[in-house]
């Protein structure tokens, strides 16, 4: 992964009503400096707390950081753990953790759902928490869940999105969430992705070393098919230019106005961005897990992936004897890199799942 300065610290470059940049160069303020320069590294704009979850029941925001773990003997996953940690923004002491996670076991179908949600915008925490509360129930109660989990998952995601878009208590005009999910049923894994969170698999390579397989793929505005769709819908895709060159990734903008500046091409919510070609359609991936080669699964928001690539993350995860140890080590390392590169820390959520009785530290 190539990392550019200030690359994705904010899913939205600027909130509405802020003087936003042109693709011909950022506008200048009275002091001669770009008014966006002071906020281009901002993460979120609202209140504080850490959230961590090991199931679907709790919606509370924890004051102290804890790790929730689980075991499973009905599918390929035998042990798993998840950690969601609030980021750090020195200019915003009341910043909330906008990430959420779901870890839910469905005994009747021998299924395990591992899902991360990365909220963005002022109400991003509300959007991700709403999906956390409602999505698992919708999936498990869907009439196609037992026979066609992809159909059940897709229709449940879109149903919950319709609900949140119609909920007057959560302003989704400039707020939304990504979603990345692994569904493990027996020895089959189904990946579901909307946005730039990710599922990665650690597997035994031909040289006997555990290597990374990027299972789901990020939805970025510059990807040719995604960009074509956005342009055909009347939107624009460009990266902001400052006096020192391009700062940050290509973003999605309306055709007639420099908003919203969304750094992904698919998301849930984000009503304004969806008028410019951003969609909420999930992309699915599927394969059989092999007991001879597959060792672990990582599901994480881009707080992990921004400054660490797939191989680095898998390399750290396989050294840990238990998933709860690996999620802590990965989040800690990601936080250190954020501070070193940006002097801020994005919210970071990581789930590690060991497969077929794997214990870390060996192939």
* d(C-alpha 116, C-alpha 199), whole Å: 9
Looking up residue 109, the CATH number of its domain turns out to be 3.60.40.10
* d(C-alpha 337, C-alpha 347), whole Å: 13
Tell me, yes or no, whether 38 lies in a domain: no
What is the per-residue pLDDT for 247?
Answer: 73
Q: Which one-letter DSSP state was computed for residue 220?
A: -
Tell me, yes or no, whether 36 lies in a domain: no
Say if residue 173 is exposed, middle or buried (CB neighbours under 10 Å; 0-12, 13-18, 19+). Answer: middle
What is the per-residue pLDDT for 360?
Answer: 78
* d(C-alpha 177, C-alpha 198), whole Å: 13
Tell me, yes or no, whether 15 lies in a domain: no
What is the per-residue pLDDT for 22?
Answer: 44
What is the per-residue pLDDT for 244?
Answer: 67
Per-residue pLDDT tens over the stretch 266-287: 999 999 999 999 999 999 999 9
State which residues of the chain have pLDDT below 70.
Answer: 1-10, 13-70, 72-73, 243-246, 362-363
What is the per-residue pLDDT for 199?
Answer: 98
Range of the domain at 177: 68-218+277-355
Beta strands 77-85 and 348-355 are antiparallel
**3-state secondary structure (DSSP) of residue 355:** strand
Q: Pick from 200, 217, 218, 189: which is nearest to 315 by CA?
A: 200
Crossing angle of helices 310-317 and 323-342, rounded to 10°: 140
Q: Pick from 209, 127, 202, 119: which is nearest to 172 by CA?
A: 127
What is the per-residue pLDDT for 68?
Answer: 62
Domain count, the chain: 1
Tell me, yes or no, whether 192 lies in a domain: yes
Range list of β-strands (E), the chain:
68-71, 77-85, 99-106, 111-120, 176-185, 188-194, 198-204, 210-214, 236-238, 241-242, 245-246, 251-253, 260-262, 268-269, 283-288, 294-300, 348-355
Tell me, yes or no, whether 31 lies in a domain: no
What SS3 string covers 154-185?
HHHHHHHHHHHHCCCCCCCCCCEEEEEEEEEE
Phi and psi angles of residue 153, each rounded to the nearest 5 degrees, phi first = -70, -45
Tell me, yes or no, whether 226 lies in a domain: no
Q: Interior CA angle at 266 toward 239 and 35, to 5°?
A: 35
Query: For the whole model, what pTM was predicted?
Result: 0.84
Could you tell me which residues come within 8 angstroms of residue 332 by beta carbon, excluding any fewer than 6 positions away? none
What is the per-residue pLDDT for 57?
Answer: 32
What is the per-residue pLDDT for 357?
Answer: 93
Q: What percent of the chain has pLDDT over 90?
A: 72
Per-residue pLDDT tens over the stretch 158-205: 999 999 999 999 999 999 999 999 999 999 999 999 999 999 999 999
Tell me, yes or no, whether 287 lies in a domain: yes
Q: Are 9 and 43 in contact (CB under 8 A)?
A: yes
Tell me, yes or no, whether 197 lies in a domain: yes
């Amino acid at each position: 992964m190539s990392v550019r300065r200030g690359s994705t610290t904010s899913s939205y470059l600027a909130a509405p009503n802020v003087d936003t940049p042109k693709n011909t160069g950022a506008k200048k303020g009275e002091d001669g400096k770009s008014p966006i320069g002071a906020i281009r590294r901002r993460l979120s704009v609202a209140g504080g707390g850490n959230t961590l979850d090991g199931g679907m029941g709790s919606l509370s925001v924890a004051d102290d950081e804890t790790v929730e773990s689980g075991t499973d003997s009905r599918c390929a996953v035998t042990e798993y753990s998840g950690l969601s940690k609030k980021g750090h923004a020195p200019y915003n002491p009341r910043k909330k953790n906008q990430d959420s996670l779901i870890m839910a076991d469905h005994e009747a179908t021998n299924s395990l759902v591992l899902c991360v949600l990365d909220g963005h915008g002022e109400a991003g925490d509300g959007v991700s928490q709403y999906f956390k509360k409602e999505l698992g129930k919708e999936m498990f109660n869907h009439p196609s869940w037992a026979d066609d989990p992809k159909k059940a998952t897709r229709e449940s995601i879109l149903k919950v999105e319709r609900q949140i878009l119609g909920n007057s208590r959560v302003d989704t005009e400039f707020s939304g969430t990504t979603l990345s999910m692994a569904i493990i049923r027996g020895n089959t894994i189904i990946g579901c992705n909307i946005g730039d969170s990710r599922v990665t698999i650690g597997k035994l390579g031909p040289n006997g070393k555990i290597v990374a397989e990027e299972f789901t793929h990020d939805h970025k505005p510059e990807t040719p098919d995604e960009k074509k769709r956005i342009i055909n819908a009347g939107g624009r895709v460009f990266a902001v230019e400052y006096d020192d060159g391009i700062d940050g990734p290509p973003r999605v903008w309306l055709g007639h106005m420099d908003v919203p500046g969304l750094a992904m091409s698919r998301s849930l919510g984000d009503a304004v961005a969806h008028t410019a070609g951003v969609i909420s359609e999930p992309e699915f991936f599927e394969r059989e897990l092999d007991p001879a080669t597959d060792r672990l699964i990582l599901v994480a928001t881009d707080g992990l992936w921004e400054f660490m690539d797939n191989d680095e993350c898998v390399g750290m995860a396989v050294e840990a004897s238990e998933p709860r140890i690996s999620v802590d080590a990965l989040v800690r390392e990601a936080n250190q890199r954020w501070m070193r590169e940006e002097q801020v820390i994005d919210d970071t959520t990581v789930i590690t799942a060991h497969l077929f009785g794997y214990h870390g530290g060996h192939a």
